[in-house]
A and B are shown apart, each in its own frame.
Chain A
Amino acid sequence: MTEADKRVNLDQLDHDSCRSWDYSQDFCVTCGICSSMCPVSGIDDFDPRKLVRMISLGMENEAVDSRWPWICTMCGKCEASCPMEIKISSIVRKIRSLRERDEVPGILHKGLETALKTGNNLGLPKEDFEFILEDVAEEIAEEPSFENFTVEIDKKGANILTTIHNKLVNTHTDDLKHWWKIFHAAGEDWTVPSENWEGTNWGLFTGDDEAMKKMSGRIVDHMKNLGAKNLLWPE
């Protein structure tokens, strides 16, 4: 295929296809400030200005099929610096949401699917989860002045209910200890749910609003069922 064959006939594109998107993309002045702020600009030729431009020209399909939206880290630096106040990360998320779900990049797709099915991104069974928590609690109790430390799972009426990021029960169990020790020292009344404890919500990154709603709903249910007073959602 020659260069000329690849030429897109601009006036055959439907420029209105993305006009209903309420992210001010049409006001882009192509200044490029966003691209100079973006930490991943240049990777695979990606930069946020290109995506904004594609959307304002109505190149929706091409943007959805492209790898670019998935390179973005959703950090939001572009958006914070855009003089025209264009909601760039919302644009990225919107494009991601338009992909067929089974074409969402592997790790995100698998993690989210697993979380929806099992309650956490790792697919960690309830028994294993409880075993890990108790194991960590025992380790803490071996330390001086934490002799009587315990973790109370699914405690009703606690002051704080906390969610867990999956890496804290996987590779980073030491990080779990730090704030549990603080709870203990502060005499806090706290608990962790035994199921659906996952704090991360990858629906955010895949643009899947339904999944986001479901994951958040589970935490709301915990609060109701366990009668916890405050939620700690360290994400």
Chain B
Amino acid sequence: MALKTLVIGNGSCAFDIVDNLLSKNVEVIIATRDNSLHQKFSEIMGQNITEIHTETTIHSCTGAIGNFTISMKNNNKSIIRIVDCIVIAEDSFRKTLFASYGLSPSTKTISLSDLDNPENYKNIADENKSFVLLKGLKFESNPVISKEVMDSSIKLASHGQSKIYILTKNLKVAGNRLEALYRKAKKAGIIFIKFTDSEPEFFQGEDGKTCIEFTDEVTKKNFSLTPDITVVDESIVPSDYLETLAKTFGLNIDCSGFLQSDNVHRLPAYTNRKGIFVAGPSRGISSPEDYKAEAGTAAIAVLNNSDKNNYDIKDKAYINKGGCVRCLTCYRICPHKTISLNSTLSVMPEGCEGCGLCTAECPKNAITIENLDHKFLIPDDKIQNADSASKPRITAFCCSRSAAEAYKLAVSIGLTLPEGLKIVEVPCAGSISLTHILNSLKNSTGGTIILTCHEGNCFSEKGNVFAHNRAKSVSKMISDAGYKKERLMTYTIASNMGKEFSNILNDFEKNIIDLE
């Protein structure tokens, strides 16, 4: 059966994704808030786009990869569809920055989009002689905007205009081909005026023209500019729809509101939820070429799920219905949104990452992950053996994505580690429960150390934070009980920090020995 995919979006990137998927015989459903489909789609109309829903918003989404149930709303009409995967590629928006410069839009003071608008371009370029383009003077501008500003200026120059000024703060040219573009602009006679310690002043006349006064930072001379046209730069912001989509799908957003958290473990196209992908202008700000590449990546990510027999459903969480009291803790905290809420709660294994956050947090211990729990049950006899060693026994809980890798690195490059070290590798530090920590303290002669990913870098978003909070509460508990809280420590580490791993463990051992 063909893979069925819902694509949410109505711009070039969404189009590229649909085009890619159709060429691989994926059944595509398009849902867009807009009232008509972007004209690009007309090229592939009539091919096998299964369905197109304009003026349609997403109301809810249940299920997991391979079996999402989507409920959509089209003017009060409800549409229900079942799909395998979902791709979000909503266009971002341009925000004009007139207000930040204290200017108002007019025929003489226009935005970057106004200048680039093919309908007006010829008139603007023909009828005016001098142009000032403002770039990143109030807000650091993205290289995409820098490129547009330089491209537009070069276009004006090739139109025969000779007085073109770019007023800019930082002009970062590290991006793809930007330095060459900068040289090209210089060659075309465009004059760059850079501001590092000062800012120009803006005055707008009755006629809408902008006059600019400044001190050139190089020559220290005072200048004024009264260009025929002042072009104000823009910033790029995520679609306002993304916030709603993030809530509906349970997706994490980054600090600017794009649909993929700032997390080293999130590869392009992937979200915190299996089977839901994000691309292009919904994921961040990039050049049109990069968006095109991302559309391809998203299509490949979808196609990787063609064979349902390959879905990873081993070692996933399982809720023991008898034990569950429906407190909904697991449902709320599951970072990968794969616990379904019906008459009973159950884990949809296709979407489960086996992180163990739910197992550690369930107040009734009603959730288990095969091959996970017994890893923590350190048999007593083994510990007795270890006790015969002269050095204190140290249990290190290591997140598989960071600390366990750092440990392997430390071993492979031959760094010293404590003699009595016992490594307990866990899928995510969030799976380390209070019981685990207390058991470990009870069974270890020396101490317990928890090593997690750095903050903001947890594959399960907050697993590390959970681990640190639990350790904090145990720490208080044991010190209230008169036990040395130095026997329980937490650290964050990254997979490439073998040396630091060895240092942390050796220092920990030394401190434990000093306690005795």
B264 at the interface (CB under 8 A from A): no
Q: In the complex the two chains form, is B186's CB within 8 Å of A26's CB?
A: yes
Q: Which chain B residues border A54 with CB–CB below 8 Å?
A: 219
Q: Check if A6 sits within 8 Å of B226, measured CB to CB.
A: no
Interface residues of B in 217-239 (CB under 8 A from A): 217-227
Q: Which residue of B lies closest to A57 (CB)?
A: B191
Closest Cβ neighbor of A47 among chain B residues = B218
Q: Which of B194, B220, B222 contacts A8 (CB 8 A)?
A: B222
Q: Encode contact with B along A88-118: 1 for CB under 8 Å, 0 otherwise.
A: 0000000000000000000000000000000
Is A15 a contact of B191 with CB atoms below 8 Å?
yes
The SS class assigned to the A binding surface is: helix
Pick from B219, B222, B225, B226: contact of A3, CB under 8 Å: B222
Q: How big is the B interface, by class? A: 20 to 34
At the interface, yes or no: B213 with Cβ under 8 Å from chain A?
yes
A50 to B219 CA separation, bound complex (whole angstroms): 5
Chain A residues, CB < 8 A from B220: 45, 50
**Closest approach, in angstroms, between the C-beta of A28 and any C-beta of chain B?**
9
B130 CB–A CB distance under 8 Å: yes
- Cβ contact within 8 Å between A10 and B223: yes
B186 A53 Cβ-Cβ under 8 A: no
Contacts of A216 in B (CB 8 A): none
Residue of A nearest to B130 (CB): A11
Do B189 and A15 touch (CB < 8 A)?
yes
CB distance from A18 to the nearest CB of B (A): 11
The listed residue (A9, A16, A19, A30) touching B223 by CB distance below 8 A is A9
- Taken together as a complex, chains A and B put the C-alpha atoms of A6 and B219 apart, in Å, by 14
Contact check: which of A4, A6, A19, A50 meets B189 at CB < 8 Å? A19
Pick the contact of B222: A6, A16, A27, A57 (CB < 8 A).
Answer: A6
Residues from chain B with Cβ under 8 Å of A7 in the complex? 213, 222-224
Q: Is A49 an interface residue (CB 8 A)?
A: yes
Expressed in whole angstroms, the Cα–Cα distance for A54 and B223 within the complex equals 12
* Contact assessment for A11 and B219 in the assembled complex, using a CB-CB cutoff below 8 Å: no
**B218 adjacent to A53 (CB under 8 Å):** yes
Which residues on the A side are within 8 Å of B221 (C-beta)? 8
- Complex CA distance for A7 and B183, rounded to whole angstroms: 29
A residues 117-135 near B (Cβ < 8 Å) are: none
Closest A residue to B185 by CB, please name it.
Answer: A26
Within 8 A of B (CB), among A45-59: 45, 49-50, 53-54, 56-57, 59
Q: Does B373 reach chain A (CB closer than 8 Å)?
A: no
| B residues 178-225 in Cβ contact with A at 8 Å | 183, 186-187, 189, 191, 194, 213, 216-225
Other A-B pairs, 12, CB within 8 Å; known A15-B189, A27-B186: A4-B222, A6-B222, A8-B221, A11-B165, A11-B227, A26-B186, A26-B189, A27-B187, A30-B194, A50-B218, A57-B219, A59-B219
A-B pairs, top 7 by smallest CB distance, nearest first, are A7-B222, A53-B218, A10-B223, A11-B130, A10-B225, A7-B224, A50-B219
